[in-house]
Amino acid sequence: SKSFVVPEELLAYESVYLNAEMVDTVATFELNGTVLGAVDNMFQRHRFDVRSLLREGENTLSIVFDSAVKAAAERGKAAGYPVPNIQHNRFRYMNFLRKPQCHTGWDWGPCLPVAGVYGDLSLCGATAARIEHVYATQEHTEGHCDVTVTAELIARRATVQDVVFKFDGRRRKVTADLVAGVNQVKAAFSLRNPRLWWPVGYGEQPLYELMVSSGEQSVNKRLGLRRMEIINVEDPPDPALKEPKPLPGKSMTVRVNGADVFCKGANWIPPDALPSRQTPELYRQLIGDAVDANMNMLRVWGGGKYERELFYSLCDELGVLVWQDMMFACSMYPATDAFIADCCTEVEYQIKRLRDHPCIALWCGDNEVIGALKWYTETKRERDLYLVAYDRLNRAIGKVAAEADPTRMFWPSSPSDGPGEFRDGWRNFERGDSHYWDVWHGGKPFEAFTSVRPRFCSEFGYQSFPSLETVQTFAEEGDLNVSSPVLEHHQRNPGGNGRIVSMFMRYFRMPSGFDQFLYLSQVQQALAIKTAVEYWRSLKPYCMGTLYWQLNDNWPVASWSSIEYGGKWKQLHYQARRFYAPVMAAVIQRPVERMDGEKKVKVMEVHIRAISDVPEPCRAQIRMTLWDLNGKALREERYNVSIPANGVADVLTIPVKNLAP
């Protein structure tokens, strides 16, 4: 509760409303002892008309929070059939509540079902109509851009009201005849030779100031002018094949201003398990660290939250593309009319809130929900029931997304083939985006990364432990052992420690002490992701994106992150700065089939390739040196290479057995 003083001038407005953003989650609002209403969706903005309840002088606002865990359980138990949710959630039924799914635990995060108000909480005065949303549409032709700005106003009654638009130093005033309810007021601006916004590494990030005002209200934004496309088309038939493939390959390429961008980056989770610690400094540090590692895309993962405005503003400024999931992950969800309607309201608000950020590349319906149809006993037993439920929700939010932002593609799920296709995208690497987890969860060697050819790999990863310095923030001296209860508690993935150790046996000797154990786990993690990224980057333009799991942690833990909780870079992040460099040489070791006489044999080969994201052709010199295990150079050769614009050059292919002199 909070007591506050209302000045006389606020009461002079015809309308006064309470604006409440990011309310987590089940809460009842009371003003001066009168109930304003109840809320139960953290991802919606809530606005209450309070003019009649305010009084000049002291007022009291109270917010009574109920247990999100209990509320979710009540809904789940009342459902007509079981709706399974991910086993990472320590409490069941969290999929019935519109709250970050990871708040009740994940395989990298603690179970902390927090509550509170994390966004704006303010009283706003308005005349007969208030500004609800402001958004713009861009139409680009050669050397020209038409920008149409739309202001959505909600009017209490029919009225006439001026709406003023200011953009690029120009001003438009529209005197609008408003009806009671929702109104759209538009103004158009035409720019010659606009300064275009580019992803980092492809150009600059100019931002144009936009202001819309009406009465005493105003909205300020910054627009980046660019054309954003997702190229998702089937491959042409291969004339070398006697019979065409029953399912041809299908691309996934992000194209900005006509240039195809190889997306280099990682997945993003909420930056701290405690919302009060999600400070502006933390956001600036993490996104800056991503750019410092040559990343140009982050994926806002669907088990977390739609991020704060600061996150997207920083991505705009720094040129970081954003793959934006809707907040559904790894579970089934209710298919009732009420639940779907609530989710549609959420999606409409979030997309209208975020659509003017030039950084956002696409909207994605969910994380792994199509694939989850194969995970649960209930879904395997009655697949039709759950598939229809999924289809109802996904199509509904997809329709809302298309109406709220017709300028971007709605990608139905990750992984998937693309819009309109609902195959399980887990195993079909030739179409759309892929998630590849056979190395970590399946225990395959790192070379398995070179056995698949994804078009866009939006999830893959390998775990490591945090540094000794970070471990010492939560473990006493006597607990510095990976088998201690404290260290086990900070490993949320069942069997995770065993997977790390078993891979040691494949590539290394067992480390001699605890600090070396932690260090070697990070070397191993870096080697795993390096193996994947360098090979997949060398397949461009067939493969056009790699987003490893994951950039950051929300507490100190053994995980797939490349940046520890607290901000230290792991070995992986230092390697990312190298394997995501604009121009690089990659050494790829992989088994291939070759003919030996009349039979096929498997031969382990080394491929050296030069890779460039630079838009012009470039020349490079590659030096190859072979050492023995005592550090003696056995062989050294140099190769002059011409690398095509935004392309790949093959430098050398040689069997491993022929490397040594």
CA separation (Å) from 225 to 144, 145, 297?
Answer: 10, 8, 18
636 counts as catalytic: no
**b/e per residue, 285-320, with b = 16+ CB within 10 A?**
ebbebbbebbbbbbbbbbbbbbbbeebbbbbbbbbb
d(C-alpha 407, C-alpha 229), whole Å: 9
Residues in the chain: 661
Question: Across the strands, what pairs with 164?
Answer: 173, 213
Residue 87's contacts (CB-CB under 8 Å, 6 or more residues apart) are: none
d(C-alpha 114, C-alpha 121), whole Å: 18
Residue 13's contacts (CB-CB under 8 Å, 6 or more residues apart) are: 51, 125, 126, 127, 216
Secondary structure letter of residue 244 according to DSSP: -
> Where is 91: in which H helix or E strand?
none
Residue 618's contacts (CB-CB under 8 Å, 6 or more residues apart) are: 583, 612, 642, 643
d(C-alpha 121, C-alpha 202), whole Å: 39
User: Catalytic one among 346, 459, 534, 564?
Assistant: 459
> Where is 436: in which H helix or E strand?
none
d(C-alpha 195, C-alpha 208), whole Å: 9
Backbone CA torsion sign across 320, 326, 328, 332: negative
- Residue 566, sorted as left (phi over 0), alpha (psi -120 to 50) or beta, turns out to be left
CA separation (Å) from 412 to 122, 343, 416, 432, 453?
Answer: 35, 15, 7, 11, 22
**CB–CB of 333/83 below 8 Å?**
yes
Beta strand extents in 520-630 (DSSP E only): 545-548, 583-596, 599-612, 618-627
**CB–CB of 324/191 below 8 Å?**
no
Q: If you compute the radius of gyration of the chain from its CA atoms, what whole number of angstroms results?
A: 27
Report the Cα 369 to chain-centroid distance in Å: 15
368 counts as catalytic: yes
Structure-block tokens of residue 311: 């996150």
* Residue indicated by tokens 């260290």: 487
Query: DSSP of 156-183, one letter per residue?
Result: SSSEEEEEEEEETTEEEEEEEEEPSEEE
Long-range contacts (CB closer than 8 Å, 24 or more residues apart) made by 215-220: 215/126, 215/127, 215/129, 215/161, 216/13, 216/125, 216/126, 216/127, 217/124, 217/126, 217/130, 217/131, 218/131, 219/131, 219/134, 219/151
Nearest to 108 by CA among 285, 304, 249: 304
Name the strands in the sheet holding 57-65, side by side, starting at the edge strand that comes first in the sequence.
Answer: 2-6, 57-65, 27-31, 34-39
> Where is 400: in which H helix or E strand?
helix 383-404
Give the residue numbers annotated as catalytic, written as ranges.
368, 459
